[in-house]
Chains A and B, each alone.
Chain A
Amino acid sequence: MLYISTKYQIIRKDFPFYLGKTAHGGLWVQIKNLPGHLPKESPSHVFLQEIMKWNGWGYSDSRFLFNKKGQAEFTGKRYIIIGMIIPGLKDWFECTFGASLQHKTPATPLLNSSAVQPPTLNEAFVEELKSTGIPFSQDAEDRVFRAHGHCLHEIFALREGKFGRVPDMVVWPNCHNDVVKIVELASKHNVCLIPYGGGTSVSSALECPPEETRSIVSLDTSQMNRILWVDEKNLTAHVEAGIVGQDLERLLNESGYCTGHEPDSMEFSSLGGWVATRASGMKKNIYGNIEDLVVHIKMVTPQGVIEKSCQGPRMSTGPDIHHFIMGSEGTLGVVTEVTMKIRPMPEYQKYGSVVFPNFEQGVACLREVARQRCAPASIRLMDNEQFKFGHALKPQVSSIFTSFLDGLKKFYITKFKGFDPNRLCVATLLFEGDREKVLQHEKQVYDIAAKFGGLAAGEDNGQRGYMLTFVIAYLRDLGMDYYVIGESFETSVPWDRVLDICRNVKARIVRECKERGVQFPPLSTCRVTQTYDAGACVYFYFAFNYRGLSDPVHVYEQVEHAAREEILANGGSLSHHHGVGKLRKEWMRETVSNVGMGMLKSVKDYVDPNNIFGNRNLL
């Protein structure tokens, strides 16, 4: 390793408090620190790389496995579900996918450096870079780690020990000025730069273009992770763009603030990445999406630094230059510093859940909540398949009393209320704010839900729903150990189309799988994860058992492609927050029109005429 340890770090190991499951089945807990469902330990004082998997999701010590009795459990000490037995998962897994614990497909355990292409170096660039003192590395492991995001095909190849084109070296700038120097040198020596934040991309955005002949340098922003100042008068914080979501929240929490921006990937994704992809957070209903949260952005481009001259809350100064930066996906430059809005931490937080007799009623309820503009911090509606999935992840109950209660609840919902267990669906809720208002708000939402046949189903279910978000990526790794591959993708769609798009895309997935020789019906499920005035964000999960297929990844990609076509044909957008990357760029032109494409191209041509930021995303 060539890098020098960073000069200063905010180190905080003890995560003082987090939400846990209480003895009697999980209750709201008044908390000081958010978010509660995240790991206890801050990873920022070490290079994430050292504690993370090189060929799967998340921390090396955290993984699902089936123990000797065939029961699922989760290892490590970072998440609250640690050590709990999940008795239902095996049956669900075997029934849903037709998979068997007998048929394993283990990953290549160790990274074989010799399988990695030797770096193509631009000697002059390397020489000048050395003289700046900015740390860099040509180590194979470092390069492989930054050569991918978390698309299925990327992880699948890694598990098989296959590497395509990887960056030729990695640099770790420590501050804005370091980035300026690197970009200058790259321009001078015609080196291709690919900015790297948290590496959680699911759009093939981090893949090195195979046709790139220049030396590719991965610019890792992880060392630029400081909060430079907090302005309590204006409620803003000026933060370096490499900071990872959970660190940002934790550090702000210490002074009683938060940004409230919580994308599902917040454990690992970085502020710069959010800006570059137009990220969206779970609690956007209160705090807004990234475009609502940023006040000022500083970005280094081959033409120099772009930023605004002041921090006015809104400006009428032509098209907002922030909107050229947000969503530029690393094609124009590196975001180095961002001023963000901050809020005092909420006094009180409460989970909740509602069971609906069917998905249609659930969507109607969400629509009404959006119409009345009374959406809680988060409101998500899972379809029946996902409800069952969530159910399968229920940890073993601790007492006869709880299991009795569960039985009683089930009886009440299915027999007394007449809900069909194969049709009902569940919405999970998260309320935030001061206590009084939360309770009032909660009542309002439950009243609306009741009009659509919704029954309050407890906080426990709600909380488990949100936890699912953080562990689902780990579950994919478990599936991949047993011939099951899958992924999620998202879209946004007008309200009147929500039901149609959900039905059609799910059906299309099933049909495509069948036509392509997938032996067992796939898991094809969705949930509505965000509500807006004019529409909603819909998330699809799709997984199947690939036994008997010679090229499962290709089949997977064809099905995903078909599903995206279906989304577009049903009035859905190309992406709500994952971005376009290289995975979806074939649809960009029809998405933004020829002229729109020309506009974006001309910006790229001006800002980066030599394609220094050559990841070839988006356009």
Chain B
Amino acid sequence: MASKAVYSQRDPMLKKRDDFEDILEERRNSSDLRYALRCYAPVVYKGLCPSKAGTLKSMVLQSDQLHYVIHQVCRETGRAVDDVQEEVSSILEEMAHRLQLSTVRFFAFTLSKVFKTLFRSICVNEEGIQRLQQAIQEHPVVLLPSHRSYMDFLLMSYLLYTYDLALPVIAAGMDFMGMKFVGEMLRMSGAFFIRRSFGGDKLYWAVFSEYVKTMLKNGFAPVEFFLEGTRSRTSKSLTPKLGLLNIVMDPFFKGEVFDVSLVPVSISYERILEESLYARELLGVPKPKESTSGLIKARKVLSEDYGSIHVYFGQPVSVRSLAEGRVNRCQFNLIPRHIPKKPSEDIHSFVNDSAYRLVRAQEENMVLKPWVLLASLLLQNQVSGQKRGIALDELTEQAVWLRDLSRQYGAFLHWPEHTPPSEVVSSSLSLHRGLVRISEGRVQLALGQTGGPAAPGEPRSAVTPEEELLSQAVIILSCASYRNQALHVFLRPALLASAIHTASSNKKQEVFNSFSFLRNMFSNEFILCPGATVQDFEEACYLLVKTGALQVTQQDVLVTERGHRTLVFLTSMLDPFLQGYQVVCRFLCEEATEALTEKQFIPAVRKFIIKHLLAGRLRYTEVLSSDLQKNSLAALLRLGAVRKIKGAEQGTLKVNTVMVNSLEDTLGGKLPTQKAVIARL
């Protein structure tokens, strides 16, 4: 226990978090109209040069950077300058926001109505709001909310309006623009639209980055975007995308602003509006194209209870402090700053590390509801083959145990303090009654006959086993998405628990090797900061030792008697992923043909998995999640076990069967870690 002092700095129990205020309470007691029309006078950035949306556009069009790129494009393609300039104008036209207070007021009014019907409360940490207000005045601010729902960015703007803060401009995917009227409404509430992919289009990139930078540098408005790039369908944080983060940090690197404040915002939904939609999407029912009529159909969601939302505005992170000692800003001294340059190695790795840190900051301040723990327990119970479910009082006992464990791991758990646990459990279950069934005092997932809310009213006559499986999978994946909310709390200890489980001995070094292997394997799946293996290992050891589950000596890692329960829970948490990756490996070894393309991969692997599930060779239905399948392929590509053949049509996959095989065996604990490492080399 001598190591305790060293670790105490990181003790998650010591994390201090702000209190929440419910903003809907006031909305329920006073006029929405008056609220929507009230005087709005936010504080602004001290260095703000007041400008209208129009001036903003001309500032972008006249920037040195765009001039340079326009002429470069002209030289390369032989096009006339006017022609290219016109293209630039139209790109900008397509992209630019038209923030209008009247639209915002309209949203303020309608959203008040909608929110009050949908949610019990919307809770915000007001200290975070105060910090944000301070930050907005001092430096350009970038808001980085987590992304779990379409709701996110309307909610963000709604909150900022409520607290009389500067309204953000928001980077939104172009797919929204397809929704004719809504797209324009969003544009007028501050959204600007970017194409989903524009990899090679340097003109587009130049317009886009200059547009964002101009807004940022002039303090025109806080810039808001989603680090994860898209909504997470699994409620796990997605590995961050770096493009926009790079753009907003660039003015700091180049000395154009003194500092930039990055504000991670964690938005947690007690019940996600898109719950079953996401599950279906992950199962291969294609995502409905965003359309206005689709949104109206979604009206039926209005009649349900979605519990509460917690929004936590995190501590603003100064890019300057982050970059201190990591980025040598002198690298921009010798080339005019407006000439676009690929980010150097040190900048790239700095941005990458920062992005992970920020996503972790989002994760840490995500509020977890008791249901999240229940979902974890029910999933584990379901897999363990208990057909009749789990007794309610047993579930309550386990939940209380898990509550205490998660708190010790630093979870931001909102468990009502003065309510008996049994009541907490039953009220959580009733909010999610579409996912669970309670009969005769026993609780289980709502699989099978009832079909779940995914397909109500559909004729249920000729159901094939496959269809049956898929409809169960909808429930399981929905449930898993709640469990996933808590994954970040248990991830590091779970990796350690699995490492202990798979390692061939109790030797600390071997456990570490195994930990390191798993961590590396799963780094596309979970948020694991690059290069922090040792830190993560130490943190995991610390937490398990602290809770008495583990004894760590100089050489050995020993599971204590009372630690057994914890370790079983933790390994079970990670097990679906371990199994899933193994199945994907097996698929690649057994079924992948020479001509398998990236595009065909998901359908093919899905078919393979369904076959195994139906044959009972695989326990985890959630392996059907295309998210897991994609991540595992990405990991294999990263490790070089699978290669994409360039030039071939649609990216043919070339499988290194020996290596994939050995990775599979290592995941299954059949091969010691060392060998896998060698195989990788």
Contact = CB atoms under 8 A, between A and B. Distances in A.
B54 interface: no
B150 interface: no
15 contacts: A496-B336, A497-B255, A500-B255, A500-B256, A501-B255, A503-B47, A504-B255, A507-B258, A507-B259, A508-B258, A569-B255, A569-B328, A570-B255, A570-B329, A571-B330
B293 interface: no
A568 B332 CA distance: 11
Nearest to B329: A569
Interface string B447-477: 0000000000000000000000000000000
Contacts of A504: 255, 258
A304 to B, nearest CB: 39
Interface in B248-262: 254-256, 258-259
Contacts of A501: 255
Contacts of A605: none
Given A568-B330, A571-B330, 10 more contacts: A501-B255, A503-B47, A503-B258, A504-B255, A507-B258, A507-B259, A508-B258, A569-B330, A571-B255, A571-B333
A13 B162 CA distance: 76
B326 interface: no
Nearest to B253: A569
A507 B139 CA distance: 11
Contacts of B336: 496
Nearest to A571: B333
A406 interface: no
Interface in B324-339: 328-330, 332-333, 336-337
Q: Which of B255, B256, B330, B336 gathers most chain A CB within 10 Å?
A: B255
A504 B333 CA distance: 15
A370 B676 CA distance: 66
Interface in B320-360: 328-330, 332-333, 336-337
B329 A496 contact: no
Contacts of B254: 500
Interface in A473-514: 496-497, 500-501, 503-504, 507-508
Interface string B422-458: 0000000000000000000000000000000000000
Contacts of A503: 47, 258
A590 interface: yes
A355 to B, nearest CB: 20
B392 to A, nearest CB: 56
Contacts of B47: 503
Contacts of A497: 255
A450 B328 CA distance: 40
Contacts of B258: 503-504, 507-508
A418 to B, nearest CB: 14
Contacts of A500: 254-256
A253 B422 CA distance: 100
Contacts of A570: 255, 329
Contacts of B256: 500
Interface string B502-520: 0000000000000000000
Nearest to A591: B330
Contacts of B337: 496
Interface of B: 47, 254-256, 258-259, 328-330, 332-333, 336-337
Contact of A590 (B329, B330, B332): B330
Nearest to B64: A496
B60 to A, nearest CB: 18
Contacts of A507: 258-259
Interface residues of A, number: 13
Contacts of B330: 568-569, 571, 590
A504 B254 CA distance: 11
Closest 5 CB pairs of A and B: A569-B329, A570-B255, A507-B258, A571-B333, A500-B255
Contacts of A496: 336-337
B442 to A, nearest CB: 60
Nearest to B256: A500
Nearest to A501: B255
Contacts of B259: 507
Nearest to A499: B256
Q: Which of A496, A501, A570 gathers most chain B CB within 10 Å?
A: A570
Contacts of A590: 330
Interface string A589-619: 0100000000000000000000000000000
B141 to A, nearest CB: 16
A280 B380 CA distance: 78
A504 B336 CA distance: 18
Interface string A571-582: 100000000000
A145 B258 CA distance: 41
A500 B254 CA distance: 9
B256 to A, nearest CB: 6
A503 B47 CA distance: 10
Contacts of A569: 255, 328-330
A504 B329 CA distance: 13
Nearest to A503: B258
Contacts of B328: 569
Interface string A528-541: 00000000000000
B76 to A, nearest CB: 25
Nearest to A358: B49
Contacts of A568: 330
A48 to B, nearest CB: 41
A187 B76 CA distance: 65
A501 B254 CA distance: 10
Contacts of B333: 571
Q: Which of B256, B328, B333, B336 gathers most chain A CB within 10 Å?
A: B333
A590 B254 CA distance: 18
Nearest to B334: A571
B337 to A, nearest CB: 7
A143 B246 CA distance: 57
Interface in A227-268: none
Nearest to B251: A500
A507 B255 CA distance: 12
A56 B631 CA distance: 70
Nearest to B47: A503
A570 B259 CA distance: 13
Contacts of B329: 569-570
Nearest to A568: B330
A38 to B, nearest CB: 38
A436 B259 CA distance: 49
A590 B609 CA distance: 59
A546 to B, nearest CB: 24
A218 B333 CA distance: 40
A590 B334 CA distance: 13
B168 to A, nearest CB: 24
A439 B333 CA distance: 39
A496 B65 CA distance: 13
A508 B252 CA distance: 13
Nearest to B252: A504
B445 to A, nearest CB: 54
A516 to B, nearest CB: 15
Nearest to B338: A496
A501 B256 CA distance: 9
Contacts of A571: 255, 330, 332-333
A504 B253 CA distance: 12
A171 to B, nearest CB: 43
Interface string A421-435: 000000000000000
A507 B256 CA distance: 13
Contacts of B332: 571
A86 B47 CA distance: 33
A5 B336 CA distance: 58
Nearest to A504: B258
Nearest to A590: B330
Nearest to A497: B255
A79 B259 CA distance: 44
B344 to A, nearest CB: 15
Q: Which of B254, B258, B259, B332 gathers most chain A CB within 10 Å?
A: B258
Nearest to A508: B258
